[in-house]
Each structure stands twice: as C-alpha cells, then as structure tokens.
Structure 1
C-alpha cells in the first residue's frame, strides 16, 4: 500500500512538473508561420492578461520592474547627476498588439527571430532618487514618486537563442535580446524634485516635458537596457515553462489538417 501511494504521488508530481502544456484554447501554428503566430500571440495577450499561473507566467497588466540606475555621472565638477528608479510598476502591456513575428522555425537557431508590436499607452509608476549639481550652484537631493507615460509605444525585438534539452524535450533559451523603441510622446512627472520649492519642481517638470525628445536621446541607451530586462522576463517565462515543440503543431496534426 505504501508503494502504491508513493507511486501515485510521484505520478502527480511528474504531471505537474513535466507535462505542462500550452493552453488548449490558443491556436497552435506550423513552425515559422508568422501570420498565425502573430494571431496566437495577440490571442494570448487578450485572454490571459493576468498571466497563466499554472505555467508560472506572470501577469501582463501589472508588471513589477527591477530597480534601475538610469544616470550615474562621476560626482566631480560643476555639473553631475545621479538618478535611480525604485519600486517601479509597469501598466499597459495587456493592450499590446503584436504586428509581426518572424522566425521560430523548426530549428529556431538557424534564422533571426523578430517580434514587432505597439502599445497605445505604457505607464511606469514608482519612486525615484535623484542627486546632483546643476550649473555649479543648484544642488539636487530629492526623492519622491515618479510617473512616466509613453504614448504610441512601438517596439521591435530581435532574439538570439539556443536550445536546451530537459526531459527529452527542447526548450528555448534566450542569450541575446535587442529592443528598438519608437514613441510619439514621453510625459514625466517627478514629485518633490525640489522639496522646499514647489514652483521650481513644476518648472523642472515643464522643462523636461517641453524638451522630452532631447532627454530621450540622451537617456535612450539606459532606457533600452531597462526594457531589455522587461521584455526578457516576459518571454523567458513562456520558454522556460513550455517545451519549444509543444508550442507548435505536431507533424500528425499538420498532415490531417
């Protein structure tokens, strides 16, 4: 009896760990079928904004973001700046529209993988810490809440992958993810930037928002590295928990279709 009970528990654990599969209500595609993969990706985002807990896939609608040091100048001279984002939460990925997918062939390492998409509005909310010196006479030492609003956020992601074998199945592992981002507008508000002067806080926020393109060009490398971690965490969840071949139609299904 003890052996039978042990066997049943083992089978249940095996099913839970090794037999995780893609949701049955999402259409599977042929390898490399870009239009079909695009439709399925959009269906996934629409049907599962809260993620898929049984596959350990995190929610898309509310996404925690790691703390990020955006600017870290050497603290010498008349002008330097330190700026860190803390406790950030990302809102809006559930409204993503995937516009094109390329790659994902039978051998995913043989061709370049690309994912293109757009989001009407992407919002970051959290805290910030700022230190610095401006124009030799204005010292900055502030912390407070921050909000960034990216309008018509468009992205292109290029992936380089390798295959990892687990339990006689192929799993995709990303070893390089390169994002490219375009947007129509960036609106930011930093609360309490000058703690003792609310008028000056408003002025510096207005200055930023009037000249957001110049700030974007200056900060883009650090922002892209941050979004690399965001996109990677979302995609890794799927590839880590579902075998690559289980995402696609089997040969028998293709032949009978």
Structure 2
C-alpha cells in the first residue's frame, strides 16, 4: 500500500542519475542536492509511463504484491487477520521531491535521505478479513478503495560499498521510513453482502475515526513496506554502480560552483 510510495522515489533517484537515461535529464555532481532534486522531479513529470531503455516501469499505475496487514494471536478471545491482494496504486506521477541528503562521494558516512509529497495517493485492492470477537466469527471479503491525502514521506537509508570491476556498488543494510498524512478516506465495498445498511454504517464509523485506525496499523504497514522496498533497492544498486550515477571528480563545494552538465 503506502510502502510502494517510497520504493518509487528511490527508483526515480537511480534513473535520474544513470548514464542510460535520455539526454534531456541532468546528471549531477556528488552532494549537489538542488540538482538531484530538480532531476528527480523532471523524471517524475516527464516519464510517468517509465523509461523502457533502462527498465523503469510506469509509475502512474503501480501494481503491489499481496500483503498481510494485520495478524493477531488466534488463541486470544479477540483476534483478527487482514490480508490485501490484487493491489494497485495511482498518483505517484504527481509526486514532488522536496529534499535529499547524503549523496556525497562517500555515501557510507551518513544516512541517505529522500523526502517528498504526494497530494493524493489512491489505493485499490481486495481485502480478506477473518476474526473472532466473543461469540461472533467474521469472514469478510470485498473490494476496497483508499485515498491518502497530502502524503509526506521521508526515507532514511544506510549502506556499505563493495568494489566490482573497479567500481563501487552500494549495498543498503538499513531502511527507516516515516509517513504523515492529512486524511485517510476508505470505502470497503460489500463488507456485509447481506446487509448494505451495515456496510454503510461500518464505513462511516471507520472514516470518522480514521486517525485511530491509522495509528494502530501504521507500524505493520511500514514494516511490510520496508521489507519489499529493501529487497528491490538491493537489486537496483547491484546492477548500477554508485560511481556511474554522478559526474566524476568533484565534491559538494566544487559542484556548487559548476553549471549543470547534460548526460552524455
């Protein structure tokens, strides 16, 4: 769900700075944060359908793998399991990157940080919920649509470098995400197929108390995201040398005095 928001942003960072991208996109010096932000936002705006030459998939429609959102102890008097399948996200193409830090010549000395904002992220998928409360057993399935309004995110990454063919490759070993939203609107269709009035009532209750639900589910959502995101990030960095992402030879102080150069 939200997890894919963050994966998408780091993918943008990689393609924006890669030598294989179209020559209209600027390649930056190490540590030139303004240049990196501008290049990432250029890619987001101009390539919502992806860049096939480097394997970047479309970002206006993003498929998501199945995820277990909630699973409590089934031996307890009250327990619940919630699984999401056939998930799709819409709205990444409207992302604005607002801040980056740490992309220096030696990326291992500090956290790599990427922050940004999405005005509206829409998530659609199927939900499967089972549970037991007192004498009531639940087995619910249906289609859900969520909208996360004014979503702000920050990714903090740490990594080590390894040499292959005389080039440095970055290996991420830690990822810590954070997310803030102004509003979460959710509609669960056919929650109670035999009672549409009850379905409407439950949806209204959820949307009235969305913040409490968000606070309860935020950690499992982010934990799921972190595992998926980290796995995909490792593959990207394994394929693209960190040294190939930037213009060679200049540190931050010198880079700030140099005019941006187009990718060769």
User: Which bracket does the TM-score occupy, shorter chain normalised?
Assistant: 0.7 to 0.9
Q: Deviations over 1:5-63 (max 9, x none)?
A: xxxxxxxxxxxxxx963432211111011111111111111122122222122222111
Partner residue in 1 for 2:140: 142
- Does 2:97 align with 1:121? no
C-alpha separation between the residues in 1 aligned to 2:204 and 2:221? 21
C-alpha separation between the residues in 2 aligned to 1:206 and 1:192? 14
Q: Retained in 2: the 8 A contact 1:49–1:59?
A: yes
Structure-to-structure mapping, 1:51-62, within 5 angstroms? 51-62=50-61
C-alpha separation between the residues in 2 aligned to 1:196 and 1:117? 43
Match of 2:187 among 169, 186, 189: 189
Note the aligned Cα RMSD (angstroms): 2.4
TM-score by length of 2: 0.82
C-alpha separation between the residues in 2 aligned to 1:47 and 1:226? 30
Cα drift, residue 234 of structure 1: 6.8
Partner residue in 2 for 1:37: 36
Partner residue in 1 for 2:178: 180
Cα drift, residue 238 of structure 1: 4.9
Partner residue in 1 for 2:46: 47
Structure-to-structure mapping, 1:32-181, within 5 angstroms? 32-134=31-133, 136-181=134-179
TM-score by length of 1: 0.84
The runs of 5 or more residues in structure 2 that have no matched partner are 1-17, 260-264
Cα drift, residue 162 of structure 1: 2.0
C-alpha separation between the residues in 1 aligned to 2:115 and 2:20? 25
Partner residue in 2 for 1:242: 240
Higher RCO, Cα 8 Å, sep 6+? 2
Q: Retained in 2: the 8 A contact 1:21–1:242?
A: no
Q: Secondary structure at the match of 1:251?
A: coil
Q: Secondary structure at the match of 2:106?
A: coil
| Structure with the greater alpha carbon radius of gyration | 1
Q: Deviations over 1:81-109 (max 9, x none)?
A: 11001111111111110000001100111
Partner residue in 2 for 1:208: 206
Q: Retained in 2: the 8 A contact 1:55–1:238?
A: no
Q: Answer with 54-63 or 100-109: which moved more.
A: 54-63
Q: Answer with 52-61 or 147-156: which moved more.
A: 52-61
Aligned pairs, how many? 238
Cα drift, residue 130 of structure 1: 0.5
The structure-2 alpha-carbon separation of the partners of 1:256 and 1:120, relative to structure 1 and needing over 3 Å to count, comes to closer
Partner residue in 2 for 1:5: none
C-alpha separation between the residues in 1 aligned to 2:77 and 2:194? 22
Q: Retained in 1: the 8 A contact 2:94–2:119?
A: yes
Q: Secondary structure at the match of 1:84?
A: strand
The runs of 5 or more residues in structure 1 that have no matched partner are 1-18
Q: Retained in 1: the 8 A contact 2:60–2:91?
A: yes
